[in-house]
């Protein structure tokens, strides 16, 4: 970090995740694009991690012109991207589980207590099943076949 900061040592060359809160605030308030890039990268890597939470905490009481909206949008966009990736992963898992049973989607849907069209929405990722339904899908897919 190139931003001079009172009472903050040891941030140079260290990952943003290791910076003290005061260094993060100094970078936001007095930094430049060069200082903000590592912060946005850390947020994209872990949108619910410490850096994102600390930035949110700071933005709750301060609204730095320019960089404040940029950081808020970075958090929102990163969380939305992770949500899409997680939904896609659940859909892939469901498709694999259904395919591994050798059952038709209609038969599998009946076995888990839903319709074929609803199961199809889970397989495409347009709808994510509840946690309990996902566990039921796993149980049906892994139970011994007769």
pLDDT value at residue 63: 84
Q: pTM surpassing 0.85?
A: no
Name residues whose C-beta falls within 8 Å of residue 75's C-beta, 6 or more positions apart in sequence. 43, 47, 52, 55, 56
Give the pair of three-digit tokens for residue 78.
Answer: 């990163």
CATH label, 83-142, candidates 3.30.470.10, 1.10.260.40, 2.40.33.10, 3.90.1150.10? 1.10.260.40
**Three-state DSSP state, 126:** coil
Tell me: the pLDDT tens digits for 43-57?
999 999 999 999 999
pLDDT value at residue 84: 95
Tell me: the pLDDT tens digits for 97-137?
999 999 999 999 999 999 999 999 999 999 999 999 999 99
Q: Which is nearest to 68 in space by CA: 31, 21, 18, 23?
A: 31
Give the pair of three-digit tokens for residue 50.
Answer: 């410490």
- The full set of domain ranges for the chain reads 16-64, 83-142
pLDDT at 7 over 60: no
Binned at pLDDT 50, 70 and 90, residue 11 comes out as low
Average pLDDT of span 12-34? 91
pLDDT-above-70 percentage for the chain: 91
């Amino acid at each position: 970090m190139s931003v001079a900061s009172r009472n903050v040592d040891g941030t140079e060359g260290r990952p943003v995740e290791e910076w003290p809160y005061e260094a993060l605030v100094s970078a936001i308030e007095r930094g430049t694009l060069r200082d903000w890039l590592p912060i946005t990268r850390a947020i994209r890597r872990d949108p619910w991690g410490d850096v994102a939470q600390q930035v949110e905490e700071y933005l709750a009481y301060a609204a730095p012109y320019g960089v404040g909206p940029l950081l808020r949008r970075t958090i929102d966009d990163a969380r939305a991207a992770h949500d899409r990736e997680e939904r896609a992963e659940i859909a892939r898992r469901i498709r694999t589980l259904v395919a591994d049973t050798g059952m038709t989607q209609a038969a599998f849907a009946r076995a888990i207590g839903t319709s074929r069209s609803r199961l199809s929405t889970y397989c495409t990722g347009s709808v994510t099943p509840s946690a309990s339904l996902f566990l039921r899908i796993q149980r049906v897919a892994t139970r011994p076949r007769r």
